[in-house]
């Protein structure tokens, strides 16, 4: 029996050589390697008429809403169907963000179920900003402060912009 190993790549051809070298050095010798440029596959998917728009809204708005509602009202059948719809859209489009949405929703709900989340967040956010600024002063690198500030300020603003863009 031959083992098939699929290596998805995108503009990282320099790492493919290291990956294949590592595979050759493994104990299993009966295998084949398939190198696939994932973004070529994604760019080849063409949707007729409004389907590109509707698939995006199905994956980013409707399914997450159904997942959240079914989790909150504890409807396991609806939750399973919503997650399966999300996985189906991922299989069609190959957008990894679509497959991570259900996981992110459940993690966020679990965090919100904890008591004192908002009071702790109000205290911890300025402390996080302070320490990220402190790392910039000490190290002189903007990576940590920019990540923290981007996640705290720009991501919620971008989400709100998408909401207003769609509904207003």
Nearest to 103 by CA among 83, 78, 81, 77: 83
CA distance 153 to 80: 33
> pLDDT in tens for each of the 168 residues of the chain?
678 887 777 666 667 777 778 877 877 778 888 877 666 655 555 666 666 677 778 888 888 889 889 988 999 999 999 989 888 888 877 777 788 888 888 887 887 777 776 677 777 778 877 888 888 888 888 787 777 777 666 666 666 665 555 554
What's this model's pTM, rounded to 2 decimal places?
Answer: 0.47
Give the pair of three-digit tokens for residue 61: 């708005």
Start-to-end C-alpha separation, the chain? 57
């Amino acid at each position: 029996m031959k083992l098939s190993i699929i290596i998805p790549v995108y503009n990282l051809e320099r790492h493919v050589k290291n990956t294949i070298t590592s595979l050759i050095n493994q104990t299993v010798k009966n295998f084949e390697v398939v190198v696939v440029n994932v973004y070529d596959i994604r760019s080849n998917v063409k949707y007729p008429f409004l389907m590109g728009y509707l698939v995006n809204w199905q994956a980013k708005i409707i399914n997450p809403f159904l997942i959240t509602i079914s989790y909150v009202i504890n409807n396991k059948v609806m939750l399973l169907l919503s997650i399966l719809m999300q996985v189906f859209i991922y299989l069609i489009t190959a957008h990894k963000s679509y497959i991570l949405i259900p996981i992110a929703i459940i993690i966020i709900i679990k965090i919100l179920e904890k008591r004192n989340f908002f009071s702790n967040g109000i205290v911890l956010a300025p402390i996080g900003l302070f320490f990220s600024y402190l790392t910039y002063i000490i190290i002189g690198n903007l990576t940590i402060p920019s990540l923290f500030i981007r996640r705290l300020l720009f991501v919620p603003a971008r989400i709100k912009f998408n909401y207003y863009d769609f509904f207003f």
